[in-house]
Structure 1
Amino acid sequence: MSVAKDLDIAEPRRDFVFRSPKLLWGIVSFACGIGLWWLATASGVSVLPTPLTVFQRMIELAISGQLWMDMFASLRRVLIGFLIGSLIAVPVGFLMGWYKIARAVIDPWIQFFRVIPPLAIIPLAIVTLGIDEKPKIFVIFLAAFLSSVVSTYQGVISVDRTYINAARVLGAGDRVIFTRIIIPASTPFILVGFRIGLGSAWATVVAAELIAAQSGLGFRMQQAQLYYDLPTIFVSLIAIGILGLIMDRIVVRAEERLTHWQERIHHD
């Protein structure tokens, strides 16, 4: 058997060995967090509900179907706003990074809206777009767009000019340079922008649902607050965290597959 085949066979095993402790430490971390939560409630130091109470309330909401409807409503808003914002942000970011004129025209507007919190735009969006789904999706779109467009733009301008100059010397045109150099080199920045945009999208959708909504996890927390229903608030928070974590892991996996050519630093 050749050395190459030996390496091909050994690599998945080595990868599995390195990945397993990472998963194990993640489980241990969550278990420790729940343990500290239980100790705080059992000792009387905190007025928070116990993990068992929250779990029982989660089962009740899941059986009634309320939890699934709220999760679907919030997830739908996040996905629509995030996808629209990201799909528009990527070409705009490339345009800003590639053409100086476009950068001079668009960048002041990007920086202007970046310093305005999406929460401050929610009342204006409700007045101008109504109280249905449009204002909620719009503010989510804006939050995701601003995060992704800045990361994409930063990725384009961060490309080493040596690669571009070398490609031009070899006779490559703008189209080849853009597709073979700019896009691959900018991909890690774009995916980081997606991760940041997802966090901003979830934070924005909860705020939007607290102000004007009849469904969703944010709306459910607001209703629970009126009746001092702490277990329901915790269930909504946990659901948001789980959905956000799953979406973030999906982006991370995509990043690993699309940027496998990059050298990565791993610390034991």
Structure 2
Amino acid sequence: MEEVPPASAPDAAPSRRRPTGRARSLGLNVLSAVIGIGIWWAFAASGFQLPTPPQVLFRAGDLIADGTLQEDVVASLRRVFIGFAIGVVLAVPVGFLMGWYPVARGLIEPWVQFFRTIPPLALIPLTIVLMGIDETPKIFVIFLASFLACVIATFQGVVSVDRTLINAARVLGAGDFTIFRRVVVPASTPFILVGMRVGLGSSWATLVAAEIIGAQEGLGHRMQNAQLYFDLPTIFVGVISIGVLGLLMDRALLVAEQRLTIWQERR
């Protein structure tokens, strides 16, 4: 019987693999952060009235050591999360109603467009008069910022659904509820998630102004107090903390978007 030659062993030195897209993107992100810190340091060293990165780092260490930064982060996160969550929970069904039923669109859309032209910050005096200075007005203005962004995105997602898909489902005998659940909702999901990301950014952008309303803790409150004493390192700690927290929450939504829309063709 003829002996079968053994399979050739793999090369001892494996060929170098090209970095994956995720690794390349992470590397570019790190490089961008290093370049940004370098530019910041160069501006501070050249005479601009800016604290250097070590000064900000030492100030952050002091705030962490006495527990101030942790308390402010928890307070701001709680306000943003509650306001954002309420905004999304209400915006999605309202957006679906506007997109699916012409009567609902005619009744609701003018009000949505009306309030979109009014910055949530402009409503702060009104919320103070109507709601006092406790947590309610702070959460309300954050809710309004996230709601308006998400409801428009959801509405646009519904009206952008390909009519061919809906007509094909009707030909196959699907009712309105089945079409809505199996066609409209999946097709609108990418729009909803984009609206959530925009709404999250609006929530964080509104936070500092919202914490003007009688707040005793929070990143915005800490930055406003630091402004009175020209404490630039503390202001920078607050700005960087908001940016990092917002970035992490946005990345979490991006991961959810990739998993929920895995069927969608990407570049």
Correspondence 1:19 to 2:19: no
4+ residue segments displaced more than 4 Å: none
SS at match of 2:118: coil
Given candidates 115, 136, 139, the residue that maps to 1:137 is 139
- After TM superposition, give the deviation of residue 213 of structure 1 in Å: 1.4
What TM-score, normalized by structure 2, do the two folds share? 0.92
Q: Which amino acid aligns with 1:239?
A: S
- After TM superposition, give the deviation of residue 15 of structure 1 in Å: 10
CA 1:15/1:152 → structure 2, altered by over 3 Å: closer, same or farther? Answer: farther
* Cα distance between partner residues in 2 of 1:196 and 1:181: 24
Aligned-residue Cα RMSD (Å) equals: 1.2
Superposed CA deviations along residues 236-260 of structure 1, whole A, max 9, x for unmatched, are 0000001000100000000000001
Superposed CA deviations along residues 177-204 of structure 1, whole A, max 9, x for unmatched, are 0011000000000000000000110111
Correspondence 1:238 to 2:246: no
The answer to whether the 8 Å contact 2:138/2:213 transfers is: no
Given candidates 221, 224, 232, the residue that maps to 1:222 is 224
Given candidates 248, 251, 256, the residue that maps to 2:250 is 248
Given candidates 103, 108, 133, the residue that maps to 1:101 is 103
Correspondence 1:192 to 2:194: yes
Task: Note the residue ranges of structure 2 that are not aligned, 5 or more in a row.
Answer: 1-16
The aligned length equals 251
- After TM superposition, give the deviation of residue 43 of structure 1 in Å: 2.2
CA 1:159/1:92 → structure 2, altered by over 3 Å: closer, same or farther? Answer: same
Residue in structure 2 matched with residue 206 of structure 1 by the alignment: 208
SS at match of 1:263: coil
Correspondence 1:33 to 2:36: yes
- After TM superposition, give the deviation of residue 208 of structure 1 in Å: 1.2
Q: Which amino acid aligns with 1:59?
A: G
Residue in structure 1 matched with residue 155 of structure 2 by the alignment: 153
Compare CA radii of gyration and give the structure with the larger one. 2
Superposed CA deviations along residues 20-47 of structure 1, whole A, max 9, x for unmatched, are 0100000000000001111111222x11
Superposed CA deviations along residues 190-236 of structure 1, whole A, max 9, x for unmatched, are 00000000011011111111343111111101100000000000000
Residue in structure 2 matched with residue 8 of structure 1 by the alignment: none
The answer to whether the 8 Å contact 2:151/2:195 transfers is: yes
Q: Which amino acid aligns with 2:23?
A: S
SS at match of 1:86: helix
Q: Which amino acid aligns with 1:177?
A: I
Residue in structure 1 matched with residue 182 of structure 2 by the alignment: 180
Superposed CA deviations along residues 55-108 of structure 1, whole A, max 9, x for unmatched, are 000000011100010111111000000000100100010011010000000001
* Cα distance between partner residues in 2 of 1:34 and 1:53: 13
Task: Note the residue ranges of structure 1 that are not aligned, 5 or more in a row.
Answer: 1-13
SS at match of 2:20: helix
